[in-house]
Structure formats: C-alpha cells, structure tokens
C-alpha cells in the first residue's frame, strides 16, 4: 500500500491522523524540511502555496481547527505527511474525513483510492 497527501490541498485539520488506526500520518511544520516526506508526486509536493479553492472553502470555517497554520498544536495545524503508508489497511476512514480531499492511496494491485469529504 502506498499513501500520500496532495500537499497544496491539505488544510491541516488533522482528521486523517486522528482516525487512522495504524498511525500512517504525522503532522509536520509547513516550513519544515520533512513536509514532503511521503511519496506525493512532484506536482503535489508542498511548495508553499495552498490551493485557492481549498482556502476559499475553509479559511472562515470556525470549527476549532487551525486551518493553514504553519505549526501543529497537537490538535491541528501544519501539514499531514503519510510517513508510514505501507502500514495502511485500507479501512478508508481517512478518505471520508479529509477536508482537503487530498489523500491518495494505491493498493498493491495499483488500484487508486481518493478522499471525498463526507
């Protein structure tokens, strides 16, 4: 299994980390050197700019999450990085909780699964 986050669409909500039963995700500083420590393709690596549609959708949503903050405070903020994608058991919990609809999973047969916010 391979898992990555399309970084330009991640709000930093931390839902993925909170629901994953096998600790695939870690929250990293947006400005940190390890913000791209998963297998996201080049066009989806973090380059310092968030997708404008995602910003427009989430910037004013007051749900207690630190959307688009550089650093994580233990509950939200920062960027999600799929540092342990090989542990994924394809429960799909993260896929329905991802605000940015930016998680991609490939199983060992090459089938792709993508997040769609519930």
- Give the binding-site size for ligand SF4 (rule: CB under 6 A): 29
Cβ atoms of residues 88 and 97 within 8 Å: no
Which of 4, 10, 46, 68 forms a contact with ligand SF4 (CB under 6 A)?
10
Q: Quick count: other Cβ atoms within 10 Å of Cβ 73? A: 12
> Which residues 77-106 are close enough to bind ligand SF4 by CB under 6 A?
80, 88-94, 97-100, 102-103, 105
Q: What phi, psi does 43 have (nearest 5°)?
A: -70, -10
Using the contact rule CB under 6 A, the part of the chain among 16-24, 28-36, 42-50 near ligand SF4 is 16-24
Q: Which is it for strands 2-5 and 103-106: parallel, antiparallel or unpaired?
A: antiparallel
Contact residue for ligand SF4 among 4, 5, 44, 50 (CB under 6 A): 5
What is the C-alpha to C-alpha distance for residues 66 and 59, in angstroms, rounded to an integer? Answer: 9
Does 40 help bind ligand SF4 (rule: CB under 6 A)?
no
How is the chain split among helix, strand and coil, in percent rounded to 5? 20, 15, 60
Minimum distance from residue 42 beta carbon to ligand SF4 (Å): 18
Q: Are 35 and 77 in contact (CB under 8 A)?
A: no
Q: Which of 4, 8, 20, 77 binds ligand SF4 (CB under 6 A)?
A: 20
Within 44-83, the residues that bind ligand SF4 by CB under 6 A are: 80
Give the residues lining the site for ligand SF4 (CB under 6 A). Answer: 3, 5, 10-16, 19-22, 24, 80, 88-94, 97-100, 102-103, 105
């Amino acid at each position: 299994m391979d898992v990555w986050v399309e970084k330009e669409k991640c709000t930093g909500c931390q839902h993925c980390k909170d629901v994953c039963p096998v600790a695939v995700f870690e929250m990293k500083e947006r400005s940190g050197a390890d913000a791209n420590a998963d297998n996201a393709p080049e066009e989806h690596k973090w380059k310092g700019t968030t997708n404008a549609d995602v910003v427009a959708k989430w910037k004013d949503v007051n749900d207690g999450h630190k959307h688009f903050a550089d650093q994580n405070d233990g509950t939200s903020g920062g960027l999600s990085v799929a540092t342990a994608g090989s542990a994924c058991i394809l429960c799909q919990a993260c896929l329905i909780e991802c605000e940015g609809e930016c998680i991609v999973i490939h199983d060992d047969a090459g089938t792709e699964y993508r997040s769609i916010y519930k």
